Amino acid sequence: MSNESVQPYQRIVQDVRDRIRSGEWTAGTKLPSTRELAEEYGVAAGTVQRALTELRTAGLVYSHQGRGSFVTSTATESSNDSTARALRALEEQIADLAARLEKIEKGRDD
């Protein structure tokens, strides 16, 4: 999907997901205000509200009237789980490649 086809609210959603995934925003982290996010992304407040609705539906953030929006604990847990799975998959790939390389090197020595 090219950047031109991504709606502005989707870009905000993806950026928030990335910040959670990277650990920049953890459980309980307060997101910037709607006004701050609108300024940061150069969009209308309604666009930010749509992004926040998507994030709430996905279970990544929750909102308190008058207090703001916060990262859920399940968002960081699922992010940590997927990171752990990705690391395990990479470790398996590295072990497989190391075994293959060892076989190749043994074949050269013979």
Structure confidence at residue 56 (pLDDT)? 92
Vertex 97, ends 93 and 103: CA angle to 5°? Answer: 150
Rounded distance between C-alpha atoms, residue 68 and residue 64, angstroms = 6
Tell me which DSSP letter residue 77 carries: H
Structure confidence at residue 4 (pLDDT)? 62
Mean pLDDT by 10 residues, the chain (110 residues): 75 94 91 96 96 93 92 71 69 86 83
Structure confidence at residue 16 (pLDDT)? 95
Rounded distance between C-alpha atoms, residue 54 and residue 44, angstroms = 16
Structure confidence at residue 44 (pLDDT)? 97
Instruction: State the angle between helix axes of 34-41 and 45-57 in degrees (0 to 180), rounded to the nearest 10.
Output: 110
Structure confidence at residue 69 (pLDDT)? 95
- Classify the phi-psi angles of 29: left when phi > 0, otherwise alpha if psi is within -120 to 50, otherwise beta: beta
